[in-house]
Structure 1
Amino acid sequence: MEEFNILEFLKYYWNKILIVAIVTLLGLILSIVYTAKIQVPVYEAKTSLVLVNNMGENTTITTTDITINKNLVSTYREIIQSKLILNKTIENLNLDISYEELKKNVKVGNVEDTEIILIYVYNEDARLSRKIANEIASVFESEIVGIFNIENISIIDEATVGEEPYNVHVLKQIVLGTGLGFVLSSIIIAICFYFDDTVKNESDAERELGVPILGAVPKYKEKVSSGKASDLIICKDSKSGISEAIRTLRTNLQFSSIDRKIKTILVTSSVPGEGKSFVASNLAVALANSGQRVLLVDCDIRKGRQHRIFGSPNKKGLSNLLLEDVAQVYRTYINESDVPNLYLMFKGVTPPNPSELLNSDKNKKLVSSLSNNFDIIIFDSAPINGLADSLVMSTLVDGVIIVTACKETSKTLLKTVKKDLENVGANILGIVLNRTDTNKSKYYGHYYQ
C-alpha cells in the first residue's frame, strides 16, 4: 500500500479506460434489459376521501369539528388497512389473494393539515388496481358507520390510474445503470491502484530502493514473420527506442563505478519473465559494438535461453565445463557469434545441483580465467527469488544489474532481492526498468555521480 499520487492515478486510470468503458457499457445494457425484459410494471390507483361534518340540520362547521376530524384521520388510516376492510374487499371482488398480500399493496396517507385521506393501491393490472381502490373506499365508507355510529366519510374522487407504470422510469433507470457501471469500475480501479505494489516508473524504483536507474527499456511490440518477437533488437533495428535504451545502459555502466573498472557483470531479476536474458543479450551486443572483447555467459543453468536467442545448439556449456578441468578446456566451450567481438558460452545440460556447481572452486577459477581473456563478461543468471544461484554468482563478479519489469514486479519483492544481495556483499550497480510505456526515458544520458 502506498501514498495516493493523483498524477500517477490518472495515468493508471487512463491505461484502464477500456475496462471503464466496458463496465459502463455493461451497466447501460443491463439497465435496458432489466427495464425492458425483467422489471414487472406496476400501476398505481389513487382515490381520496374526506371527513365531513354530520350534525343533522346544523350545517355550521366549527373549529372543534375540524380538530376532531383531524384526530380521526390517523385512526381511519389504520382501519382502512385492517382485516375487516381488506377481507371484505377481497370477498366482494372475489380476489385470489390473502389479506397479507393485499395489505402489502395498499398504502394509506393524508394531505397535510387537511381532513383528506388518500388510498393508493398497487397492482400489475391497471384496471384491477382501480377496482380494488374504489372497493376499499366503498367498504370503508359503509363499515365506518357500524364502528363509530357516525356518517362523516365522503368519497371525493373515484380511483384513477396513470397511463404509465409508476415504478418504470426508463431514462432515469438507464442513466442510473450507466452511472453505476462507471462509478463502480472507477472505484475498483482506484482501489487496485491504491493497493498496487508494483514498480510503475523510474522515479518509483529509484525512490523505493535507493539505487540508481541504469536504464529504462521500452516495450517492443513488433513481431517477426515467424510470429515470435526477435530478442536481438539492437541487431535487427539499431535505430529503435529499445536500441537507444540499451546503448544508454552501456554508457551509464561506464559511470556506475569510478573507483574501479567493472569487468564482470551479473544480470539477474526477482522472478522469471522480467526480461533479464533479453537485456543481457542486447547489452552484450552493444558492448561488443563499442569495440570491446565481450563474453556472454549463460549461467542460468536451470532454464537459460541464450542459445535460443542466438539460434545455436546447446550441446555443451557451463554446466558441462564445471565437471571437467576448467583451466585446460574452458576455451573449447566458448563460441563465436555473428556479432564481431562477441563470444558466447551457453548453459549446457541441466544438472541436479546447479547451486553447488556455481559455488564450486572450479567456477571461481573459471570466472578469474575468463576475466583475464576478455574486456568485459556478462553473466546471465537465474532469478533470485527462492534460488541461491545468483546470490552465489554475485559474490564472484564486480557488479550486479537487477532487471525489473515495469508495472509487473512487486516493490516488496524487489526490496527483498536487494536485501538478499546486500547480505552476501554484492555490489549492486543499479536497476534496469524493462517494458516501460514510452520509447523515451528521462534517464537517457543520466550521469551517475
Structure 2
Amino acid sequence: MANSLSRAFAQLIDDLEHPAQSPEGAKVSVSIVDQAQVPSAPIEPRLPINVALGALIGLTVIGGVIILRDRLDTTIRTPQTLRKATAVPVLSEIGYERDARRHPLITERDGSSAQIEAFNTLRTNLQFMNAEHRPRSLVVTSCLPGEGVSWICGNLAVVLAEAGLRVALVDGDLRRPSIGEYLKTGDRPGLTDVLAGRAETSAVMRQRDVSDGRLSVIPSGPLPDGPSVLLGSQRMRLLIDELVDACDIVIIDTPPLLPVTDAATLAANCDGVLLVARCGRPREQDVAHALGLLSSVGARLVGAVLNFAPTRRGDAREYPSYAPGNLTREPRIPPVPDDS
C-alpha cells in the first residue's frame, strides 16, 4: 500500500506539472528514493526498554518515599534521638526478647541474657550518679500507654535489691496495676488502703526474698474513683517520706504522663523521674509535651530508658566466655616447665 501510494502520488505530480498545453518545464518533480518494506519484528512494545524504564522509575519513587518518610518520621527509635529529645542521659537500652512474655522477671530465667545486662547497666548508672543528684525516691513513667513501665519497675527493683540495697517498690498505677502480677504479691490490700486510712504501711507491705538486699513491695490495692486526688494527698507525701527514711531507694510505678496527671502529681513530691520510651512508639512531640508537664510541676528528669529496642549483634550470648554463668570458672594455667 505504501509503495502503491508513492507511485500514484509521483504520477499525479507529474501530470499536474506537465500539462499538455504548457510550454514551460516542470517546476516540481517527485521521485521515489526508497521502497517501503515489511518490518521483520514489531516496533512496539519495546520490552527491554520498557522494563528498564519501569525499574528506574520504580526505584526513584521508592527512594523518594524512603527519604521523605525518614525526614517526616519523628518517632523515638534510637538512644541518640531519645537523648536529643529529652536532653538527659539514656541510662540503658533494653532489647526485646520473646522469653520476656513467659518470664517477665529476669531472675526467673536461666543463663545469660542481653536484658539482664541492660538492667545491670541501668542499676549501675543509677547507683553511681553524682551524690548530689542521686534520687532516693524515683518515679518511673512514660509518655504513652504500653511502653513497659511496670515491667521495668519490677526488674529494676529486683536488680537494685540484688546489689544489697533496701528497695521499696510502690505500685502507683491505680488505673491498670501490674506490679502485683509481675511479683506475684497480689493487689489487695495495698496503697489505696493506706491512703484511705484503712491500713498501716506495714500491714500492706510484702517482703520478697532477694539474695543480698531487701525488696519491699506495696501493691496498688482496690482501684479508687479519683486516683490523682489520692496520689497528690498529704498522706501520699508522708508515705514517701516514711519509705525514704526506711529504704535506700523508693521506686514508684505510675501511669503514662500524657493521658492522665497521676505521674506528674507524684513527680512533684519525689527526687527524680525516669522516663521510659518504647522504641518506635512515642514521637518527639510527645516527649516534648511530657517534659513540659514535668517542668510545670517542678519535677527533675534524671534519665531515660529506651525499651524494647531491636536486638543487635554483640550481646553476651555471642560471647559465652563472658556470660554470667561462666565467669566463676577457674582459669586454666599452663604448667611451669621444669628447668632441671
TM-score, scaled relative to structure 1: 0.61
Task: Tell me, yes or no, if the aligned pair for 1:301 and 1:350 is still in contact at 8 Å.
Answer: yes
- Give 1:30's aligned residue: none
Q: For the aligned residues, what is the CA RMSD?
A: 2.7
- Give 2:228's aligned residue: 355
Task: Tell me, yes or no, if the aligned pair for 1:307 and 1:313 is still in contact at 8 Å.
Answer: yes
Task: Tell me, yes or no, if the aligned pair for 2:231 and 2:265 is still in contact at 8 Å.
Answer: yes
The gaps in structure 2 that reach 5 residues or longer are 19-25, 316-340
| Deviation >6 Å, runs of 4+ | 146-151
Matched, 1:137 2:35: no
Matched, 1:202 2:66: no
Structure 1: how far apart are the matches of 2:73 and 2:271?
A: 34
Q: Classify the secondary structure of the residue corresponding to 1:401.
A: strand
Choose from 156, 161, 164 the match for 1:291. Answer: 164
Measured after TM superposition, the shift of residue 146 of structure 1 is 7.2
Q: 1:139 to 1:382 in 2, by over 3 A?
A: farther
Task: Tell me, yes or no, if the aligned pair for 1:404 and 1:434 is still in contact at 8 Å.
Answer: yes
Measured after TM superposition, the shift of residue 376 of structure 1 is 1.7
- Give 1:40's aligned residue: none
Task: Tell me, yes or no, if the aligned pair for 1:241 and 1:439 is still in contact at 8 Å.
Answer: no
Q: 1:261 to 1:431 in 2, by over 3 A?
A: closer
Comparing both chains, which one has the higher relative contact order based on Cα–Cα distances under 8 Å and sequence gaps of 6 or more? 2
Q: 1:259 to 1:331 in 2, by over 3 A?
A: same
Q: What are the Cα deviations for residues 348-391 of structure 1, in whole angstroms up to 9, with x where unaligned?
A: 33333111121122222222222233222111111111321100
The gaps in structure 1 that reach 5 residues or longer are 1-130, 442-449
Measured after TM superposition, the shift of residue 312 of structure 1 is 4.5
Q: 1:286 to 1:223 in 2, by over 3 A?
A: closer
Q: Could you tell which deviates more after superposition, 298-307 or 237-246?
A: 237-246
Measured after TM superposition, the shift of residue 427 of structure 1 is 1.7
Choose from 265, 269, 275 the match for 1:392. Answer: 265
Aligned length: 304
- Give 1:424's aligned residue: 297
Structure 1: how far apart are the matches of 2:83 and 2:135?
A: 22
Matched, 1:335 2:206: yes
Q: Could you tell which deviates more after superposition, 283-292 or 190-199?
A: 190-199
Structure 1: how far apart are the matches of 2:296 and 2:16?
A: 93
- Give 2:88's aligned residue: 211
Structure 1: how far apart are the matches of 2:300 and 2:192?
A: 25
Structure 2: how far apart are the matches of 1:361 and 1:430?
A: 27
Task: Tell me, yes or no, if the aligned pair for 2:188 and 2:220 is still in contact at 8 Å.
Answer: no
Q: What are the Cα deviations for residues 181-207 of structure 1, in whole angstroms up to 9, with x where unaligned?
A: 333222211111112212343233323
Choose from 352, 356, 372 the match for 2:245. Answer: 372
| Larger radius of gyration between Structure 1 and Structure 2 | 1
Q: Classify the secondary structure of the residue corresponding to 2:246.
A: coil
Structure 1: how far apart are the matches of 2:204 and 2:266?
A: 19
Q: 1:237 to 1:192 in 2, by over 3 A?
A: farther
Task: Tell me, yes or no, if the aligned pair for 1:202 and 1:213 is still in contact at 8 Å.
Answer: yes
